[in-house]
Homo-oligomer: A and B are copies of this chain.
Amino acid sequence: MTAEPAQNPVDDDLIEELHAIVGQRLTTAPAVREEHGRDESYHAPRPPDVVVYATSTEEVSDIVKVCARRQVPVIPFGTGTSLEGHVAALKGGVCIDLMQMNEVLAVNVEDMDCTVQAGVTRKQLGEHLRDTGLFFAVDPGADASIGGMAATRASGTNAVRYGTMRETVLALTVVLADGRIIRTSRRARKSSAGYDLTRLFVGSEGTLGVITEVTLRLVGIPEAISVAVCAFPDLAAAVNASITTIQAGVPVARIEILDDKQMEAINKFSKLDYPEAPTLFFEFHGSEAGVVEQVETVEAIADDFGGSDFQWATKAEDRARLWQARHDAFYAAMALRPGSKGYATDVCVPISRLAECIVETRKDIEESKLLAPIVGHVGDGNFHLVMVLDPDDPDEMARAKALNERLVMRGLAMDGTCTGEHGVGYGKIDFLVAEHGEAVSVMRTIKTALDPLGIMNPGKIVRV
């Protein structure tokens, strides 16, 4: 392959050129830079040299053109809720903060789609859609920006029913590495018109271009929604109950596992009193009759696997409390040990191997002596350990890395992936070769072709 292109530092001339584009929406203040080089994970902050706040696609284009001419790195930034060092400015450069691009540009109720600027957050969009009868179905827990969710191919608790960002994004506006602006697709529901650029940029983590606008499929709010919680005698029973539910064709909207440690964490954090045992959280969407049918089927399955205390609820506030607790799982785990950082694993395997994968991993956790609650989107075969640790303790970090590596290799041996939804960033870059082999060279060819100067979020996904 070609040698890695050399990046240049940010200098006063560049700052001046950026000022001419964004006026006062630019800062080199250390605290702001630090904040923009940090995500929610254990990765150490790597601040950019300058942060600019863009307000339009054209501004992003102008910024990228200047950076391209000077061969300076460009790092797009949303809410900073990623988990693999995606926003770390490994080679310094210009961070483009997109959070002022927060307009919902269009909602087409009849077509069940909408177009938003990249900085619109998930909750903001939810508020905006109130009273349309529609909702945006990808829910990673964090109130992430839609642009960031597209860039990391995010998913979360609803993916088992409604898909991930891969299935949900209809089209993107992207600023390319030379500043050109493209629209990847039309609003039609399907198309065979050439290479699928939408899917190429979804999950590209800012390494091929900057996503500035996103057109999303929306989903009709179901007539009836119900949730259920059920504790199981052991982890294998809980996993097997969820696998059976999927295989029985029950169209569950969410099916989440939490192990006893994670239940202890959310009880403490969210002041709840669930049994501290392996537990499944369910959500059912459908017609009134359809939801009752689903709940009855799942209750019978849970019963077969020794599930006890199957509680279901339909009231909006009960549902909201349940999912808030689930969404706070990461923070709840960290609260078990104040001052700690979270190191989240993200293996996803074919569901036939899921029980084996989780049970073996649980044994590894016990041997590692790490604090690592398990939580997972079991309907998709995806689960996380939230390893709660002190990143300044080298011994603990070494055990965490070893545990993750063992887990990834187990997942790959089961035809799974090292990352179901968090992405690669620089934290998983070495696993990508183990996972894809020769295909990584195709990714590298694409990266080099679309970003020949190597300025787009360098050091992420593939090494050039």
**Interface of A with B (CB < 8 Å)?**
108, 110-113, 152-155, 159, 163-164, 166-167, 176, 180-197, 199-200, 202-204, 208, 220, 222-223, 243, 247, 249, 287, 289-290, 293, 346, 348-352, 380-382, 411-412, 415-424, 428, 431-432, 435-443, 445-450, 461-462
Residues of B within 8 A of A443 (CB): 194-195, 197
Count this chain's copies in the assembly: 2
> Known contacts A182-B442, A439-B182; is A419 also within 8 Å of B249 by CB?
no
Partner of A183, one of B421, B439, B450: B439
A432–B431 Cα distance when bound, in Å, is: 37
Query: Is there contact, CB below 8 Å, between A155 and B190?
Result: yes
Task: Tell me the nearest residue of chain B to A352, going by C-beta.
Answer: B110
CB of A24, distance to nearest CB on chain B (Å): 31
The verdict on A190 contacting B110 (CB below 8 Å), with A200-B199, A442-B176 known, is no
Instruction: Give 17 new A-B contacts, CB below 8 A, not counting A188-B420, A193-B417.
Output: A155-B190, A163-B167, A167-B167, A183-B436, A186-B416, A188-B417, A189-B380, A190-B382, A192-B424, A193-B419, A193-B428, A193-B431, A194-B440, A195-B208, A195-B443, A290-B293, A446-B450
**Nearest-CB distance from A262 to chain B (Å)?**
21
- What are 15 contact pairs spanning A and B, CB under 8 A? A153-B192, A183-B436, A191-B417, A192-B421, A193-B431, A193-B435, A194-B424, A194-B436, A195-B204, A195-B447, A196-B202, A197-B439, A220-B247, A445-B449, A446-B449
Residue in B closest to A348 when the chains form the complex, CB atoms: B188
- Residues of B within 8 Å of A182, CB to CB, are 436-439, 442
**A164 B186 Cβ-Cβ under 8 A:** no
Q: How far is the CA of A69 from the CA of B78 in the complex (A)?
A: 47
Q: Which residues of B contact A424 (CB under 8 A)?
A: 192-194
Q: Are B348 and A438 in contact (CB under 8 A)?
A: no
Whether A190 and B445, one on each chain, are in contact in the complex, defined by CB atoms closer than 8 angstroms, is no
Q: Contact at B350–A153, with CB atoms within 8 Å?
A: no
Query: Which of B180, B195, B223 has a CB less than 8 Å from the CB of A203?
Result: B195
- Whether B188 contacts A416 by the Cβ 8 Å rule is yes
- Taken together as a complex, chains A and B put the C-alpha atoms of A89 and B25 apart, in Å, by 55
The interface residues of chain B lying within 8 Å CB-to-CB of A438 are: 180-182
A348 and B190 form a contact (CB under 8 A): yes
Partner of A412, one of B176, B186, B349: B186
Q: Which residues of B contact A164 (CB under 8 A)?
A: 190
**Across the interface, do B110 and A194 meet the contact criterion of CB distance under 8 Å?**
no
Residues in B whose Cβ lies below 8 Å from that of A352: 108, 110-111
Q: Tell me the complex Cα distance, A159–B190, Å.
A: 9
Contacting pair B190 A421 (CB below 8 A): yes
Partner of A290 from the list B202, B203, B220, B290 (CB cut-off 8 Å) is: B290
Instruction: Please report the C-alpha to C-alpha distance between residue A351 and residue B113 in the assembled complex, in whole angstroms.
Output: 11
Give Cα A428 to B194, complex, Å.
Answer: 10
Tell whether A186 pairs with B380 under 8 Å between CB atoms, given A176-B442, A194-B424: no
Whole-angstrom distance between the Cβ of A54 and the nearest chain B Cβ? 20
Q: Cβ of A153: which chain B residues have Cβ within 8 Å of it?
A: 191-192, 196
Query: CA–CA, A247 to B419, complex, Å?
Result: 35
Contact B192 A108 (CB under 8 A): no
CB proximity of A429 to chain B, nearest CB, Å: 9
